[in-house]
Amino acid sequence: MELDDKIYDKIVDLCNEGEGLFSNSLYDKALKKYLKALDLLPLPKEQWDASTWIYSAIGDVYFAKNDYQAASDYFYDAFNCPEGYYNPFILLRLGQSLFEQGNFEKAKEYLLRAYMLEGDEIYEDEEEKYLNLILDIVKAKNSIKEPDALLEEHVEKTATKSVRAELDKALKEQIEKLIEESNMEFDQKNYIKSVDLLQKAWDLIPNPKGRYSESYDIALYSSETYLFMNDIIKAKEWADQIFDCALHRIDSGEREFLSGKIAFEAGELDKAYQFFAVANQKSSGRCFIDEDAKYLKFFKKHQTQK
Protein backbone atom coordinates (compact mmCIF):
# COMPACT_ATOMS: atom_id res chain seq x y z
CA MET A 1 0.00 0.00 0.00
CA GLU A 2 1.11 3.56 -0.69
CA LEU A 3 1.48 6.22 1.98
CA ASP A 4 0.44 9.83 1.82
CA ASP A 5 3.24 11.72 0.04
CA LYS A 6 3.95 14.03 2.98
CA ILE A 7 4.20 11.15 5.43
CA TYR A 8 6.36 9.18 3.02
CA ASP A 9 8.75 12.08 2.48
CA LYS A 10 9.08 12.61 6.23
CA ILE A 11 9.78 8.91 6.75
CA VAL A 12 12.46 8.96 4.04
CA ASP A 13 14.10 12.02 5.60
CA LEU A 14 14.16 10.41 9.05
CA CYS A 15 15.56 7.14 7.70
CA ASN A 16 18.25 8.97 5.74
CA GLU A 17 19.22 10.81 8.92
CA GLY A 18 19.22 7.52 10.78
CA GLU A 19 21.42 5.88 8.16
CA GLY A 20 23.95 8.70 8.43
CA LEU A 21 24.07 8.39 12.20
CA PHE A 22 24.30 4.62 11.99
CA SER A 23 27.25 4.78 9.58
CA ASN A 24 29.05 6.91 12.18
CA SER A 25 28.29 4.36 14.91
CA LEU A 26 25.89 6.75 16.66
CA TYR A 27 23.48 3.89 17.27
CA ASP A 28 21.21 5.39 19.93
CA LYS A 29 20.67 8.56 17.90
CA ALA A 30 20.03 6.51 14.77
CA LEU A 31 17.52 4.38 16.67
CA LYS A 32 15.54 7.47 17.68
CA LYS A 33 15.24 8.53 14.03
CA TYR A 34 14.07 5.11 12.91
CA LEU A 35 11.55 4.83 15.73
CA LYS A 36 10.13 8.24 14.82
CA ALA A 37 9.76 7.01 11.25
CA LEU A 38 8.00 3.88 12.50
CA ASP A 39 5.59 5.98 14.58
CA LEU A 40 4.52 7.82 11.42
CA LEU A 41 3.17 4.63 9.83
CA PRO A 42 -0.60 4.23 10.25
CA LEU A 43 -1.90 1.04 11.84
CA PRO A 44 -1.59 -1.78 11.03
CA LYS A 45 2.04 -0.88 10.38
CA GLU A 46 2.99 -4.15 8.69
CA GLN A 47 0.72 -3.45 5.70
CA TRP A 48 2.94 -0.65 4.36
CA ASP A 49 5.91 -1.26 2.08
CA ALA A 50 7.96 1.20 4.14
CA SER A 51 7.54 -0.97 7.23
CA THR A 52 9.85 -3.60 5.75
CA TRP A 53 12.89 -1.36 5.62
CA ILE A 54 12.10 0.57 8.81
CA TYR A 55 11.82 -2.60 10.91
CA SER A 56 14.98 -3.89 9.20
CA ALA A 57 16.87 -0.70 10.00
CA ILE A 58 15.83 -0.85 13.66
CA GLY A 59 16.80 -4.50 13.84
CA ASP A 60 20.18 -3.72 12.34
CA VAL A 61 20.84 -1.05 14.97
CA TYR A 62 20.12 -3.52 17.75
CA PHE A 63 22.31 -6.10 16.01
CA ALA A 64 25.17 -3.58 15.96
CA LYS A 65 24.54 -2.91 19.66
CA ASN A 66 24.77 -6.68 20.34
CA ASP A 67 21.18 -6.70 21.62
CA TYR A 68 20.31 -9.86 19.72
CA GLN A 69 16.93 -10.47 21.35
CA ALA A 70 15.66 -7.04 20.28
CA ALA A 71 17.30 -7.49 16.87
CA SER A 72 15.49 -10.77 16.23
CA ASP A 73 12.19 -9.26 17.38
CA TYR A 74 12.43 -6.46 14.83
CA PHE A 75 13.69 -8.71 12.06
CA TYR A 76 10.74 -11.03 12.73
CA ASP A 77 8.51 -7.99 12.23
CA ALA A 78 10.36 -7.11 9.02
CA PHE A 79 9.98 -10.70 7.80
CA ASN A 80 6.19 -10.40 8.09
CA CYS A 81 6.05 -7.09 6.20
CA PRO A 82 5.64 -6.83 2.40
CA GLU A 83 8.30 -8.91 0.59
CA GLY A 84 10.18 -9.40 3.84
CA TYR A 85 10.01 -13.18 3.74
CA TYR A 86 12.38 -13.36 0.76
CA ASN A 87 14.63 -10.40 1.53
CA PRO A 88 18.18 -11.86 1.83
CA PHE A 89 19.39 -9.21 4.28
CA ILE A 90 16.44 -9.77 6.64
CA LEU A 91 16.95 -13.53 6.48
CA LEU A 92 20.68 -13.16 7.13
CA ARG A 93 20.35 -10.83 10.11
CA LEU A 94 17.49 -12.85 11.59
CA GLY A 95 19.56 -16.00 11.33
CA GLN A 96 22.58 -14.27 12.85
CA SER A 97 20.53 -12.86 15.73
CA LEU A 98 19.14 -16.30 16.52
CA PHE A 99 22.65 -17.76 16.26
CA GLU A 100 23.93 -15.30 18.86
CA GLN A 101 21.11 -16.34 21.19
CA GLY A 102 22.17 -19.98 20.89
CA ASN A 103 19.11 -20.98 18.84
CA PHE A 104 21.21 -22.74 16.22
CA GLU A 105 18.55 -24.94 14.61
CA LYS A 106 16.26 -22.00 13.95
CA ALA A 107 19.24 -19.90 12.86
CA LYS A 108 20.08 -22.50 10.21
CA GLU A 109 16.66 -22.08 8.64
CA TYR A 110 17.09 -18.38 7.96
CA LEU A 111 20.80 -18.50 7.16
CA LEU A 112 20.03 -21.18 4.59
CA ARG A 113 17.27 -19.13 3.03
CA ALA A 114 19.66 -16.19 2.70
CA TYR A 115 22.21 -18.52 1.09
CA MET A 116 19.63 -19.85 -1.36
CA LEU A 117 18.81 -16.34 -2.54
CA GLU A 118 22.29 -14.82 -2.64
CA GLY A 119 24.81 -17.64 -2.37
CA ASP A 120 27.94 -17.28 -0.27
CA GLU A 121 28.43 -13.68 -1.48
CA ILE A 122 26.08 -12.44 1.22
CA TYR A 123 28.48 -13.86 3.83
CA GLU A 124 31.62 -12.16 2.46
CA ASP A 125 31.66 -9.38 5.06
CA GLU A 126 30.31 -11.51 7.89
CA GLU A 127 32.08 -13.64 10.49
CA GLU A 128 32.86 -17.14 9.22
CA LYS A 129 30.90 -18.81 12.00
CA TYR A 130 27.56 -18.02 10.34
CA LEU A 131 28.42 -19.64 7.02
CA ASN A 132 30.17 -22.48 8.80
CA LEU A 133 26.92 -23.32 10.57
CA ILE A 134 25.21 -24.21 7.29
CA LEU A 135 28.16 -25.61 5.36
CA ASP A 136 27.69 -29.00 7.03
CA ILE A 137 24.34 -29.22 5.28
CA VAL A 138 25.67 -28.41 1.81
CA LYS A 139 28.94 -30.28 1.99
CA ALA A 140 29.58 -33.92 1.24
CA LYS A 141 33.07 -35.34 1.62
CA ASN A 142 34.54 -31.83 1.82
CA SER A 143 33.03 -30.69 -1.47
CA ILE A 144 29.75 -28.90 -2.11
CA LYS A 145 27.29 -31.05 -4.04
CA GLU A 146 24.26 -29.51 -5.70
CA PRO A 147 23.78 -26.90 -2.97
CA ASP A 148 20.44 -25.68 -4.28
CA ALA A 149 18.85 -29.14 -4.16
CA LEU A 150 20.30 -29.92 -0.75
CA LEU A 151 19.26 -26.60 0.68
CA GLU A 152 15.78 -26.84 -0.74
CA GLU A 153 15.39 -30.25 0.85
CA HIS A 154 16.50 -28.93 4.25
CA VAL A 155 14.35 -25.80 4.10
CA GLU A 156 11.35 -27.89 3.06
CA LYS A 157 11.79 -29.90 6.26
CA THR A 158 12.34 -26.91 8.54
CA ALA A 159 9.93 -24.46 6.97
CA THR A 160 6.98 -26.67 6.10
CA LYS A 161 4.33 -25.24 3.80
CA SER A 162 5.96 -21.82 3.61
CA VAL A 163 4.80 -21.19 0.02
CA ARG A 164 3.19 -17.80 -0.37
CA ALA A 165 0.89 -16.57 -3.14
CA GLU A 166 -0.10 -13.03 -4.06
CA LEU A 167 -3.63 -11.90 -4.86
CA ASP A 168 -4.51 -10.07 -8.04
CA LYS A 169 -4.25 -6.33 -7.37
CA ALA A 170 -7.94 -5.60 -7.94
CA LEU A 171 -9.03 -8.55 -5.80
CA LYS A 172 -6.54 -7.61 -3.07
CA GLU A 173 -7.98 -4.08 -2.93
CA GLN A 174 -11.52 -5.46 -2.77
CA ILE A 175 -10.64 -7.76 0.12
CA GLU A 176 -8.73 -5.03 1.98
CA LYS A 177 -11.75 -2.75 1.63
CA LEU A 178 -14.03 -5.39 3.15
CA ILE A 179 -11.60 -5.90 6.05
CA GLU A 180 -11.45 -2.14 6.61
CA GLU A 181 -15.25 -1.91 6.60
CA SER A 182 -15.38 -4.81 9.03
CA ASN A 183 -13.04 -3.00 11.41
CA MET A 184 -15.22 0.09 11.23
CA GLU A 185 -18.32 -1.93 12.05
CA PHE A 186 -16.50 -3.54 14.97
CA ASP A 187 -15.53 -0.12 16.34
CA GLN A 188 -19.20 0.83 16.18
CA LYS A 189 -20.09 -2.39 18.06
CA ASN A 190 -21.86 -3.85 15.05
CA TYR A 191 -20.23 -7.24 15.60
CA ILE A 192 -22.53 -9.39 13.47
CA LYS A 193 -22.08 -7.10 10.50
CA SER A 194 -18.34 -7.05 11.15
CA VAL A 195 -17.98 -10.83 10.88
CA ASP A 196 -20.36 -10.95 7.90
CA LEU A 197 -18.01 -8.63 6.02
CA LEU A 198 -15.05 -10.80 6.98
CA GLN A 199 -16.90 -13.85 5.65
CA LYS A 200 -17.42 -12.05 2.33
CA ALA A 201 -13.70 -11.28 2.20
CA TRP A 202 -12.90 -14.90 3.01
CA ASP A 203 -15.15 -16.18 0.24
CA LEU A 204 -13.31 -14.02 -2.30
CA ILE A 205 -9.91 -15.60 -1.59
CA PRO A 206 -9.06 -18.33 -4.13
CA ASN A 207 -8.38 -21.88 -3.02
CA PRO A 208 -6.21 -22.99 -1.37
CA LYS A 209 -6.91 -19.95 0.78
CA GLY A 210 -4.10 -20.60 3.23
CA ARG A 211 -1.43 -19.59 0.70
CA TYR A 212 -2.54 -15.96 0.89
CA SER A 213 -1.52 -13.69 3.78
CA GLU A 214 -4.99 -12.16 3.89
CA SER A 215 -6.47 -15.49 4.97
CA TYR A 216 -4.59 -15.29 8.26
CA ASP A 217 -5.90 -11.81 9.07
CA ILE A 218 -9.49 -12.69 8.20
CA ALA A 219 -9.47 -15.90 10.24
CA LEU A 220 -7.79 -14.14 13.16
CA TYR A 221 -10.21 -11.19 13.22
CA SER A 222 -13.20 -13.50 12.81
CA SER A 223 -12.12 -15.77 15.66
CA GLU A 224 -11.34 -12.88 17.99
CA THR A 225 -14.65 -11.18 17.22
CA TYR A 226 -16.65 -14.34 17.89
CA LEU A 227 -14.67 -14.83 21.10
CA PHE A 228 -15.53 -11.27 22.06
CA MET A 229 -19.19 -12.13 21.39
CA ASN A 230 -18.78 -15.27 23.56
CA ASP A 231 -19.64 -17.51 20.60
CA ILE A 232 -17.09 -20.17 21.48
CA ILE A 233 -18.07 -22.60 18.73
CA LYS A 234 -17.60 -20.07 15.93
CA ALA A 235 -14.44 -18.70 17.55
CA LYS A 236 -12.95 -22.20 17.61
CA GLU A 237 -13.93 -22.90 14.00
CA TRP A 238 -12.03 -19.84 12.82
CA ALA A 239 -9.10 -20.46 15.17
CA ASP A 240 -8.75 -23.95 13.70
CA GLN A 241 -8.62 -22.38 10.23
CA ILE A 242 -5.64 -20.22 11.22
CA PHE A 243 -3.40 -23.28 11.55
CA ASP A 244 -3.65 -23.68 7.76
CA CYS A 245 -3.25 -19.98 6.93
CA ALA A 246 -0.13 -18.08 5.87
CA LEU A 247 2.33 -20.67 7.09
CA HIS A 248 5.14 -18.60 5.54
CA ARG A 249 4.74 -16.23 8.49
CA ILE A 250 7.12 -16.41 11.41
CA ASP A 251 5.58 -18.78 13.94
CA SER A 252 5.68 -16.98 17.28
CA GLY A 253 2.81 -18.87 18.86
CA GLU A 254 -0.05 -16.52 17.94
CA ARG A 255 -2.17 -19.41 16.68
CA GLU A 256 -1.71 -21.47 19.82
CA PHE A 257 -2.30 -18.49 22.09
CA LEU A 258 -5.64 -17.71 20.45
CA SER A 259 -6.68 -21.36 20.73
CA GLY A 260 -5.59 -21.26 24.36
CA LYS A 261 -7.83 -18.28 25.07
CA ILE A 262 -10.78 -20.02 23.45
CA ALA A 263 -10.19 -23.22 25.42
CA PHE A 264 -9.87 -21.18 28.62
CA GLU A 265 -13.18 -19.41 28.03
CA ALA A 266 -14.80 -22.77 27.20
CA GLY A 267 -13.63 -24.15 30.54
CA GLU A 268 -11.28 -26.65 28.91
CA LEU A 269 -8.42 -25.74 31.22
CA ASP A 270 -6.02 -28.60 30.52
CA LYS A 271 -6.25 -27.90 26.81
CA ALA A 272 -5.85 -24.16 27.46
CA TYR A 273 -2.67 -24.78 29.41
CA GLN A 274 -1.22 -26.95 26.65
CA PHE A 275 -1.85 -24.26 24.03
CA PHE A 276 -0.46 -21.53 26.30
CA ALA A 277 2.64 -23.61 27.01
CA VAL A 278 3.41 -23.93 23.30
CA ALA A 279 2.72 -20.24 22.67
CA ASN A 280 4.87 -19.29 25.64
CA GLN A 281 7.78 -21.36 24.35
CA LYS A 282 7.53 -20.09 20.77
CA SER A 283 7.25 -16.44 21.80
CA SER A 284 9.74 -16.59 24.70
CA GLY A 285 6.94 -15.39 26.98
CA ARG A 286 5.95 -12.40 24.84
CA CYS A 287 2.55 -13.86 23.95
CA PHE A 288 1.04 -12.65 27.23
CA ILE A 289 2.00 -9.00 26.67
CA ASP A 290 -1.04 -6.70 26.13
CA GLU A 291 -3.42 -9.59 26.89
CA ASP A 292 -5.87 -9.96 29.77
CA ALA A 293 -3.83 -10.67 32.90
CA LYS A 294 -6.08 -13.62 33.76
CA TYR A 295 -4.41 -15.74 31.08
CA LEU A 296 -0.91 -15.27 32.47
CA LYS A 297 -2.18 -15.74 36.02
CA PHE A 298 -3.84 -19.02 35.01
CA PHE A 299 -0.76 -20.20 33.13
CA LYS A 300 1.62 -19.53 36.02
CA LYS A 301 -0.70 -21.17 38.52
CA HIS A 302 -1.20 -24.22 36.33
CA GLN A 303 2.55 -24.36 35.65
CA THR A 304 3.37 -24.68 39.34
CA GLN A 305 0.95 -27.57 39.62
CA LYS A 306 2.66 -29.59 36.90
Residue 265 has pLDDT above 70, yes or no: yes
Q: Is residue 42 part of a domain?
A: yes
pLDDT(113) > 70? yes
Domain around 144: 5-158
Confidence of residue 218 (pLDDT cuts 50, 70, 90): very high
pLDDT for 304: 73
Last residue of a domain, one of 158, 185, 207: 158
Higher-pLDDT residue of 289 and 173 is 173
Do 153 and 284 fall into the same domain?
no
Residues 33 and 115 in one domain: yes
- Among 27, 87, 104, CA closest to 51: 87
**Same domain for 177 and 288?**
yes
In a domain, 185, yes or no: yes
- pLDDT tens digit string along 33-84? 999 999 999 888 888 888 998 999 999 999 999 999 999 999 998 988 888 8
Q: Are residues 136 and 188 in the same domain?
A: no
- pLDDT at position 141 is 31
Q: Dump pLDDT digits (tens) for 237-260.
A: 999 999 888 766 666 788 889 999
Residue 51 sits in the same domain as residue 101: yes
Single-letter amino acid, residue 187: D
Q: Are residues 204 and 133 in the same domain?
A: no
Name the amino acid, one letter, at 106.
Answer: K
Q: Where are the beta strands (DSSP E) in the chain?
A: 139-140, 143-144
How many distinct helices (H) and strands (E) make up the chain? 15, 2
Cβ atoms of 245 and 258 within 8 Å: the answer is no
Indicate the pTM of the whole model: 0.51
CA distance 75 to 83: 13
> 174 with 288, same domain?
yes
Question: What CATH number did the domain enclosing 107 receive?
Answer: 1.25.40.10
Does a structural domain hold residue 163? no
Taking the alpha carbons at both ends of the chain, their separation in whole angstroms is: 47
CA pseudo-torsion sign 110, 280, 240, 225: negative
- What tens digit of pLDDT does each residue of 141-185 get? 334 444 455 445 444 444 444 455 678 889 999 999 999 999 999
Q: Which of 12-16, 82-86, 136-140, 249-253 has the lowest mean pLDDT?
A: 136-140
Query: Final residue of a domain: which of 126, 158, 190?
Result: 158
Question: Which residue, of 104, 133, 158, is where some domain finishes?
Answer: 158
pLDDT at residue 145, rounded to an integer: 42
Look up residue 306 and give its DSSP letter. -
Q: How many domains does the chain have?
A: 2
Residues ≥6 apart with Cβ < 8 Å to 67: none
DSSP β-bridge partners for residue 139: 144
Query: What are the backbone dihedrals phi and psi of residue 143, each rounded to the nearest 5 degrees, phi first?
Result: -135, 145
The band of 140, judged by pLDDT with boundaries at 50, 70 and 90, is very low
**Widest pairwise Cα distance in the chain:** 65
Say yes or no: 178 and 76 in one domain: no
Residues 185 and 119 both lie in one domain? no
